[in-house]
């Protein structure tokens, strides 16, 4: 798991389980806020056999992330 802070948000690599395997995702949450994060699947259409493979892919995508906008959307 990798984590990055942006101006008003934190973004964390994540994994979403599914019937075909695991999807890579980035979870976004406002800094200092409670509640559940919002998950954004990345690498659309790709699934991974293991959660570790999906998290490694999510870490790579998190490193490429430029910002998180005011609505919590990913900016590449």
- How high is the pLDDT of residue 64? 98
Helix (H, G, I), strand (E, B) or coil at 31: coil
| Predicted local confidence at residue 56, as pLDDT | 98
pLDDT mean for each 10 residues of the chain (76 residues): 96 97 98 93 96 98 97 96
pLDDT at 19: 94
Kindly report the number of other CB atoms within 10 A of residue 27's CB atom: 20
How many structural domains are present in the chain? 1
Domain enclosing residue 40, as ranges: 3-75
What is the predicted pLDDT for the residue at 28? Answer: 98
Model confidence, pTM = 0.93
Specify the residue for token string 């990345």.
42
């Amino acid at each position: 798991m990798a984590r990055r802070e942006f101006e008003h948000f934190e973004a964390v690599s994540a994994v979403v389980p599914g019937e075909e395997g695991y999807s890579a995702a980035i979870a976004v949450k406002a800094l200092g806020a409670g509640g559940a994060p919002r998950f954004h699947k990345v690498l659309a259409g790709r699934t991974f056999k293991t959660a570790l493979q999906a998290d490694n892919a999510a870490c790579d995508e998190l490193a490429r992330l430029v910002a998180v906008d005011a609505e919590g959307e990913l900016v590449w």
